[in-house]
Structure 1
């Protein structure tokens, strides 16, 4: 049985990590956890504890700080290293948090450091093709050293669930961590435009840095309500109470490159989705009221209000179509094929 060392102090309950570990196991890999005390000295710790060799080192998402030590140890053992960053630290600090100006000394240093990390590994795994193209360009990576595996929805958790539902209202559900990428000002503006349509109710579920601001924007809107976060395992049942699920609507570079978790999860639960248009989606996807995944212009509340209004009058067949779209394009089988191709491209065995 081939072995993979899961290297880094990662959150094993984070959905991307859980899905990737499930995929590795489905491909016949034994996953060995190594959680070093100090990231920069992890190769020394690995040597001291006698960490056994393996077929692959996997550095999970957000663990840029673990790459240097992982690659130092791997080179001595002649083991390939795969890094699944999910996001770029440079992109996040410059374009999402706007902590550094793109042409600042600090941004250039961060870009140079992250480029060094990316170039040191044998494979950089991304979640969409636009994200892969950005990494290749910004970090000067060869195409052969990059691959895509969709974020997906964890199975069998996210699946159609029967739920008691009121026929009086159409519920439009957003759930998430209330960050800038989500473009929630667009959601509130669209809700305001549909305020006279009392049968349409907007629900924003979750907590995060922008929640207080969003609540302030929604003050006085009786068609908008807020709910606290629910445990991850309860999300499918909460999704099942909604008629329409919202994706993201931000107009940032990052928002244009991703397919959010909630899109995969909602489709897997047989709920139609409205989200901003992105080249991250397969080119064969259509878009419009006839589809179960309706892509609209970013940061466009008029388009969002119009889409919700149209669907509120005719949702027949959308649930079945949403689940069929997930099954054909984003299922666990599709993700397994993607990962298998990525591992095979760097000569790794598949049991």
Structure 2
């Protein structure tokens, strides 16, 4: 196979190289002939739950030693021109590693991609209940989740649903996240021609974590015909509790310890039907577990919980039942095992869908594209440099985007597209601009964004039936004859549960807080927030501009990347200075967030 655009990857961290996801990433890169160097440092044992419960001093000393060693090796690799990688990949568990590696990568200017396979806070606190949500450990885990995502150039995760949830949780733009499905290793998981067993075997295997909902399987086994054999294979955190439930209920369950992948594939081939997961937590609703992909690869009939992730991506290739419902699970098992035709249809459909969407040949390009994008070997979404004043304003706009998480966006009067190149990363984007000179620049800048569309003209270019989760208009009210009429025309394109973000200057006395509220009411919108921007820092910029620059140069966009970065640095303390004034009227302009009045559509 010919190499993809030449990239070299340093796979670095405290990861377990035997863990399935980490083996998968390495396997996918090698399948595309990517040059991979692995630097693995042992921090975690095979029992990470026990590691978390270790004494704090013991964990801290071990971490200092391991991360010191990692930093030295990372610097040696990245500062040597002959060994310098195109990108550093931090596998699961990535968060603590990524904080350390990310700082080094920023210093040596090497992009970092992380595999955000799980949220540490969600896993340790919400899912496994190892520590309290109010504990210091929980706060540290949440901070590690967020900081690792912010330091990363691009972030991998295993489903679009996880990407959406984690982007919101870590306050990062959705465009920073890429999906690389878990898939299955075809060296182990292939259809096997075997003589059907006379028994009806129901198989579950896993690591006994809460999201798998094994207790529901145990309770469902009590409702099955006696001739059915229910087998649980594996070990993990919840196994003692599950064994206790089995003994208390005298459930007809066969328990087996963990087995090798070769033996696991043999067990799958002998099963009449394989089970997925049945937990009721938020995490369960977003994932497609490894076992489902493996059983699909082997062409087996599968029953799993009906969740958004399963529903959206696996179509009719599996049977679904309500999560956390033993009776529904038992009914589903009986109905399937008594219908041989249905079983054969599922087996064929599962294998077909796996080959179409989740085989290594389909997943590997997703990983390589992400690595290329991070390393600069493929086109990436480039943000246009901002003026200092725009940095102050966009800080509040970005805050609103994190709150609203829009999937479709209309921006009116986009100018040359300085904000557009940031907003277009959040979803399907449409921008309009009627100034011919600005329109040409904006169209060129948006051409790099696959989900963005530009139309030359004003609001009339948007069809009456087109509505959006978010409509934006920045400093546009000052340029219209009737602000009420203009605002109403914009609001027509806000969908039922949509929102509006607009900005305006404080120089016009009509646009004081009371005036803005009155204007929103006239357009049947209700206030979400009205915040001033530019307190102190913006005033300083205006004063300097008025003394040193002609009026029309105050808000000219920087046309150099270097100047843009310099202005971004200058804006940092000013953004901090404006925060204490967000609930006052002190500033050079307003950023307004509003939504439709419920029932107004």
When normalised by structure 1's length, the TM-score is 0.90
SS in 2 for 1:201: strand
Once the two structures are TM-superposed, the CA of residue 253 in structure 1 deviates from its matched residue by 1.5
More helix by share: 2
- Which residue number corresponds to residue 210 of structure 1? 238
Q: Which residue of 2 aligns with 1:72?
A: 103
- Distance between the aligned counterparts of 1:76 and 1:254, measured in 2? 35
| 1:249 to partner: Cα distance | 0.6
- 1:175 offset after TM fit, Å? 0.5
1:156-186 CA distances to partner (integer Å, 9 max, x unpaired)? 321112334422x210000111121111110
Deviations 1:252-305 (A, max 9, x none): 12111111110000110111111112222362644xxxx441122110111100
Q: Distance in 2 between matches of 1:206 and 1:109?
A: 31
Say which SS state the counterpart of residue 281 (structure 1) adopts. helix
Asked if 1:325 is matched to 2:350, the reply is no
Runs of 5+ consecutive residues of structure 2 not aligned to the other structure:
1-5, 43-64, 379-601
Q: For the Cα contact (< 8 Å) 1:10–1:60, is it kept in 2?
A: yes
Output the CA distance in 2 between the equivalents of 1:215 and 1:147. 39
Corresponding residue for residue 35 of structure 1:
40
Q: Are 1:163 and 1:237, in contact at CA under 8 Å, matched by a contact in 2?
A: no
Residue 134 of structure 1 and its aligned partner are, at CA, apart by 1.2
Deviation at 1:101, TM superposition (A): 4.2
Of residues 87, 112, 121 in structure 1, which corresponds to 2:152?
121
TM-score normalized by the length of structure 2: 0.54
Q: Does 1:278 align with 2:283?
A: no
Counterpart for residue 134 of structure 1: 165
Which of 1 and 2 has greater Rg?
Answer: 2
Match in the other structure for 1:58: 89
Equivalent runs, 1:194-209 vs 2, <5 Å: 194=224, 197-209=225-237
User: C-alpha displacement at 1:222, in angstroms?
Assistant: 6.8
The residue number in structure 2 matching 1:340 is 368
Partner secondary structure for residue 286 of structure 2? coil
1:15 aligned to 2:20? yes
Tell me, what secondary structure is at the counterpart of 1:171?
A: strand
Give the drift of 1:193.
0.9
Change (3 A) 1:193 1:92: same
Q: SS of the counterpart of 1:86? A: coil
Cα offsets for 1:51-98 (capped at 9, x unmatched): 621111000011322112322332233211000021111111221122
Rounded to whole Å, the distance in 2 between the matches of 1:77 and 1:282 is 43
Given candidates 151, 158, 162, the residue that maps to 2:189 is 158
SS at match of 1:173: strand
SS at match of 2:370: helix
CA distance in 2, matches of 1:284, 1:60: 24
Contact 2:202 2:275 (C-alpha < 8 Å) held by counterparts: yes
Name which of structure 1's ranges 60-69 and 29-38 shifts more when overlaid on structure 2.
Answer: 29-38
Structure 2 Cα separation of the partners of residues 75 and 284 of structure 1: 36
Instruction: Give SS of 2:354's match.
Output: helix
TM superposition shift of 1:104: 5.3
- Structure 2 residue 280 is matched with structure 1 residue 251: yes
- Which has the higher mean CA deviation after the structures are superposed, 228-237 or 141-150? 228-237
Query: Quick check: 1:94–1:102 contact (8 Å CA) kept in 2?
Result: yes
> Aligned partners of 1:56 and 1:314: how far apart in 2?
51
Bigger mean CA offset, 216-225 vs 134-143: 216-225
Distance 2:133 2:362 in 1: 36
Greater Cα offset, 142-151 or 106-115: 106-115
Contact 2:167 2:173 survives alignment (8 Å): yes
Question: What is the aligned length?
Answer: 343
Does the aligned pair in 1 maintain the 2:89–2:112 contact within 8 Å?
yes
Moved over 4 A (4+): 48-51, 103-106
Contact 1:161 1:236 survives alignment (8 Å): no
| Alpha-carbon distance in 2 for matches of 1:187, 1:305 | 8
Q: Structure 1 residues 36 and 12, CA, compared in 2 at 3 Å: closer, same or farther? A: closer
Deviations 1:192-244 (A, max 9, x none): 011xx133211111112222322232236574211121112322111100011
Correspondence 1:300 to 2:305: no
Q: Is the 8 A contact 2:102 2:152 kept in 1?
A: yes
Partner Cα separation in structure 2 for residue 30 and residue 302 of structure 1: 51
How many angstroms apart in 1 are the aligned matches of 2:171 and 2:313? 29
Report the counterpart of residue 266 of structure 1 in structure 2: 295
In the TM superposition, residue 344 of structure 1 has moved relative to its aligned partner by: 4.0
C-alpha distance in structure 1 between counterparts of 2:131 and 2:193, whole Å: 47
User: 8 Å contact 2:272–2:301 — kept in the other structure?
Assistant: yes
Q: How much does 1:18 deviate?
A: 1.2
